[in-house]
Amino acid sequence: MRNEELTELAQQLRVDSVRAADAAGSGHPTSSMSAADLAAVLLAHHLRYDFSDPENPANDRLIFSKGHASPLLYSLYKAAGAIDDEELLTFRKRGSRLEGHPTPRLPWVDVATGSLGQGLPVGVGMALGGKYLDRLPYRVWVLSGDSEMAEGSVWEAVEHASFEKLANLKLIIDVNRLGQRGPTRHQHDLDAYARRLRAFGWHTVEVDGHDVEAVDKALTEAVEVDERPTAVIAATRKGRGVAVVEDQEGKHGKPLPDAETAIEELGGPRFVTVEVEPPPAASGRRDRDRGPLELPRFETGTEEATRTAYGRALAALGSARGDVVALDAEVGDSTRTEYFGKEHPDRYLEFYIAEQQLVAGAVGLQACGWVPYASTFAAFLTRAHDFVRMAAVSRAGINLVGSHAGVSIGEDGPSQMGLEDLAMLRSVHGSTVLYPCDANQTARLVAAMADLDGIRYLRTSRGETPVIYGPDEEFPIGGSKVLRGGEGDKATIVAAGVTVHEALRAADALAADGIPVRVVDLYSVKPVDVDTLNDAAGATGCVLTVEDHRPEGGIGDAVAEAFSDGRPAPRLARLAVRDMPLSAKPEEQLHAAGIDAESIAAAVKLLVERVIAH
C-alpha cells in the first residue's frame, strides 16, 4: 500500500472503532484511535498471517496487550476480511464473539488480554517456542499501552527476552500520554522508555506514531534486527482525529459523545480491504511424537517424597511425549524438575526467580501447541495468581506444580510454606486440583494431567512419606480412595497429602481404643468425589477434615461443598493451620498446627462424643 492508502486504512480503523463502541454504548475508542496508524501499517506491510487458517504454526502472533483497545483489533479483523461489518457492530453484546476485551472465542486470538502487563510476558513464551522449540520463523508482535509499562511483570519479560536473545519478539508501545485518570508517568518522553529498554539490551526505535511512512520504516527496522528483541516506541495522541477528545483527559473508556459528527470529522466510513501476507511454509517444525509411557515404580513400604516422584514421572512423560516441556523458576533442584532437564535439556526452560513470567511463559507455549509443566514452591505461585486467573480466561491448558506445601516443610518457616495455594487454585474457573500422598499416586497423576483441559495444579510435599499404593493402582480424576472403613465406623476422616499418613496413624490408635473410623484419601480436591463423601457421611454421621493448609478455601471447604446441594449434611469439623507457624521440625510443625495423628485422634473422640450426646 502507498502511504496515502495506509492513511486511509488507519482512518477506517478509527471510524470502525468509533462505530463499534457507539453501537455497544461502551468501550475504549480513544485508546483504539491512538494506535490506528501503527495497526494499519502492521497489518498491511508486516504481519504474515493466514486468516483462513489460524492454526497454521507459521503464522505470526499478534497480541493486543492493551486489550481495552479491542475495537481496533476487531476493526483490523474486518479490514482483513475475517469478520464483516454486521458482526463488528455486535461488539460487547450478549452472545457476540467480540467481547469487551479479546478472548480465544475468536480463532485469531491466541490468549485473552485485558489485565495489563501480561501481553509481553505471554509473548516471551511464544517467542521461546518459535526460536528454541519449533524453530519456526514466525514473529511475535505485541501492542502495548504506555500505562502498562509500569507493571513489574513487563520488566520480568523485558529482561528475559533480552537474555534469551528473542529477536523474533517485536514490542510496539503506543505512547499516547494519557492513562485512565490522567497523564502517564513519562507522558510523551519516548527516551524515558528507550533508556530503560536499552539498559536491558533491547534495540529501540522512537517514532511519530501518526506518520505512516516513519512507522513503516520503524517496523522494517524491527524486522531486520536478528540478535535481540526490538521495541518500537511510538508517540501518539489519544482520540486522534477527533478534536473534542484528542489528547483530552477524562475521555478514557467512553464512547464518543457524538459519534456521527466524529465519523464525519474522520472522513466518513471506508471499505478498504487488505490482502495480508501469508506466512512462509512451516518446514522444519519439531517432531512431537508419542511413544509408550513407562512411569517410575515405587515399592510399597518404602518412603519417597512426592516432589521426587513428580520429577521422575515428568522425566518419563517427556520421554514418551515430545510435546511436553518443563519450566523452572530457579528451584528445579527443590521441585525436582531438574530430572526432566537432565534427560530433555532441549525442552527445559529456565525462567529464574520470576514467577509471573514463569506462568505467562507456560500460557504462551500452550498457545503454540506445547504441554507445559511449570514448577516452583507452592507459596510463590501466589505471586502469579492474576496470570493463572487470566490463563483460565484464555482457555489455556497448563500444568502448575507447587512443591514445599504446608507446615510439613519444617524449619524454613512460614515465608516458604504454601498454605493458601489450594484455595487460590480451587477458585480458578475450570481448574483441576490434585494433592497426592505417595509416590506412585503422584506419578499416575502427573501423567493424567497432560491430557486434561484448563488449569491443572499438583501439590507436592518436601519430606519423604510412606508408599502405600502399588504402582499399578489407578487414580481417576474426581476420585478418592477409602483406606480404612467398615460397618460400624463412628466417623470419617478426610485427608490429602501428608495428612493422609497422620490420619492412618490416628485411625490405628482409635481402633485400639474401640473407635473404628473411615479414612478417605481425597487426592482429587477439585473435582471432589461427591459420591464417596456422601456415602461416608451417611454411614458415619460425622466427618473430620484435616489439611496442611489454611482453613479457608481448602479441603474443608471442598468437602463442605459436597453437601451443599440439598443432601443431608453430616456433623462436620475441620483441622487446619490456623496460627502463624514458626521454625520447627516437620513433626513439631504438624503437632503445633493440630493436624498430626494425636490431634486427629483427639478431635475424632470429641466429635463422636458430641454425636452420642445428641
Active-site amino acid positions: 355
Q: 326: number of CA atoms within 13 Å, CB side? A: 32
DSSP bridge partners of 491: 517
Residue 614 neighbours by CB distance under 10 Å: 7
Is the preceding peptide bond at 107 cis, omega within 30 degrees of 0? no
The conformational region for residue 604 under phi > 0 = left, psi -120 to 50 = alpha, else beta, is: alpha
The residue assigned the cell 519417597 is 304
Using alpha carbons, list the distances in angstroms from residue 7 to 191, 270, 328. 26, 11, 45
E-state strands within 121-274: 140-145, 169-175, 203-208, 230-235
Of 499, 518, 472, which Cα lies nearest the Cα of 597? 499
Using alpha carbons, list the distances in angstroms from residue 250 to 2, 26, 543. 35, 15, 56
Contact 443, 480 (CB under 8 A): no
Q: 362: number of CA atoms within 13 Å, CB side? A: 33
Q: What is the DSSP string of 439-499?
A: HHHHHHHHHHHTT--SEEEEE--SSEEE--S-TT----TT--EEEE--TT--EEEEE-THH
Contact 77, 83 (CB under 8 A): yes
Structure-derived torsion over alpha carbons of residues 344, 345, 348, 353, reported in degrees to the nearest 10: 140
Return the SS3 of 334: helix
CB-count exposure of residue 144 (10 Å: 0-12, 13-18, 19+) = buried
CA-CA distance, 89 to 27, in Å (whole number)?
12
Residue 321 neighbours by CB distance under 10 Å: 19
CA-CA distance, 76 to 338, in Å (whole number)?
44
Q: What are phi and psi of 484, to 5 degrees?
A: -135, 145
Contact 400, 374 (CB under 8 A): yes
339 residue type, one letter: Y
Q: What is the DSSP string of 407-430?
A: GGG-TT-GGG-B-SHHHHHHTSTT
DSSP bridge partners of 375: 328, 401
CA-CA distance, 123 to 143, in Å (whole number)?
10
